[in-house]
Amino acid sequence: MRVHHHTTARMHLTVTTEDDKIVTVEVDPGTEVLNLKAILEAETGVSCQAQVLLHNGKELGDGSTLVAAGVGDGDLVMLLRRRQQASTARGSSNPTALHSDGSAVDPGAFQAQIRQDAHTMRQLESGNPQLHSAILNPDPSAMQTLLRMSHQARQQAEAARNAEIDLLNADPFDTEAQAKIEEQIRLQNVDANYETAMDTTPEAFGSVIMLYVDITVNGHAIKAFIDSGAQMTIMSLGCAQRLGLERLIDKRFMGVAKGVGTQKIIGKVHQAPISVAGVLMPCAITVLEKEQDMDFIWGLDMLKRHQCVIDLEKNVLRIGTIDKTCTFLGEHELPAFARPANGAGDGEKTDATNGGGGGAASGSGISSDPIQLAGDGLVGGNTDSNDQGAPAPAPGAAPADLESKVAKLVELGFDRAKCLQALASSDGNEEYAASLLFSGF
C-alpha cells in the first residue's frame, strides 16, 4: 500500500510597521493570528497585546486563522501599535479624553500618554514650555488649569472671528467687506489644514538635519556636506589654506561659479589626498575665493565618479568604488552652524513653529494656540487668524541685503515665502539657502 503525504504550502507575508520597518515571515495558512503576533513580537519588539494587525483595512482577530481571515500568500499586513491599553478611571478608553471645558477626564492617564510621545514633548518644550512643565509635574492641577485656559482662549478667538464675519455680512454689497470675508474663510481653511496635518503627519513638522559625513583631507579631519544638488565638489580658499592645499591650486582653472549670485573660482586642486572610511580616494576640488560656513561640499561630480548611493533607510552613504559605507552624522556631531538650535536645517526654528508667532493669552502666560487632542497624542500650534505665518527675516541680514538675496532666489523659480524661510534657516547664507530649496526644503 502506498501512502501519500500531503504537505500544506507555506505562505510568505510582508509586514510593515509604523516606523516603516519591513518584516517578511513564513507561516502556515492555518496559523492563528495570535501566533503570528508572537512571531512579530520577536521580530519587532512590539508586544502581542500592543499589536493591531490590519489586512485590507480590516483588523485581524486573535482567535481566527490567517486563511479564515482571507490572508493569502504574498499579502501585505500592517502592524500598528495599540496606544490606548487601559480604560481611564471614568471608563473611557481614550487617555486624552477631555471635558467640555477643555480639562482632561483622567489627568494622570493624560500626562502619562503625552510623556510617552517624544515628538509632542519636544514641540511643547519649544512652543509651550509652561504646559510642558505642567505635564511633567506629578500634581496635575496646573496642567488642568492651562488646558481650561487654552480651551477658553480658542473659544474666544473663534467667537471673535465669527463676530467679524457677521459684521462684514451686514452689508453684502460692500466689495471690501466681501474681500475680508473671503480672507477670513481662507485663513480658517488654512488653520484646519494645519491642524489636520499636525494630527495625521506630525513628523512633517519635525527637524530635518542635513547630510554630513566624516572625511580626512590631507591628514585633517573635516565634516563634508553631501549635496547632490551641487554640480562640483568645492571648498573655500580659507579651508584650502587651513588644510595645506593652497600650494596645489591650479590657477589656470580660474572662473566664475554661477548659482545664487556669483562667486569667483580661484582654481582647482586636481587630486586632493582624501580619505573616507580609512580608504584613500582621488578627488578633484574646485576652490572658491569667498569663505563660507561649509568647509567642504561633496558634490554630484564626486558622487557619480565614485558610484555613491545616499541610503536614507540605513542612514549611510555607500561608496561603490571602494565598497565602503559612511554613516551620516547625528545632530550632536554636526558643525555648530548646521545644528537645528542655530536654525540651519531646521524648519521648526522659524516663526512657523509657533504658527506665525501669535501672542500669548491675556494674563495667562501661555500661548493661545489651539491644542489638538486626537487619537493618541496632543499637538499644539498657533493659528492666530491675524498672522499670515511669514517667516522671520534671516538673522543679521539688513532689510535691503535680505531683499537682494530673496530676489536672487525667486529668480531661480522658488516661492518668495519659501525663500524667506530658507534664508532664515541658513542664517542668511544664499548658497546654503539655495541648497535647501533645491533639496525640497
Annotated catalytic residues are 227
Collect all residues with Cβ–Cβ distance below 8 Å to 349 and sequence separation of at least 6. Answer: 340, 341, 343, 424, 425
Host H or E run for residue 113: helix 107-116
Where does residue 212 rank: exposed (0-12), middle (13-18), buried (19+ CB within 10 A)? buried
What residue type is 107 in one-letter code? P
Cell of 348: 521648526
In our burial notation (b when 16+ CB lie closer than 10 A, e otherwise), range 68-90 reads ebebeeeeebbbeeebbeeebee
Q: Say if residues 347 and 209 touch (Cβ distance below 8 Å).
A: no
Quote the strand ranges of 8-145, DSSP E. Answer: 11-17, 22-27, 51-55, 58-59, 76-81
Q: Kindly state the DSSP code that residue 306 receives in the 8-state scheme.
A: T
Phi, psi of 21 (to 5 degrees): -80, 140
- Give CA torsion, residues 173, 175, 179, 182, to 10 deg: 30
Phi, psi of 169 (to 5 degrees): -70, -10
d(CA 353, CA 130): 16
Cell of 364: 495667562
Beta bridge partners of 263: 257
Cell of 144: 488642568
Where does residue 189 rank: exposed (0-12), middle (13-18), buried (19+ CB within 10 A)? exposed
Q: Say if residues 287 and 235 touch (Cβ distance below 8 Å).
A: yes
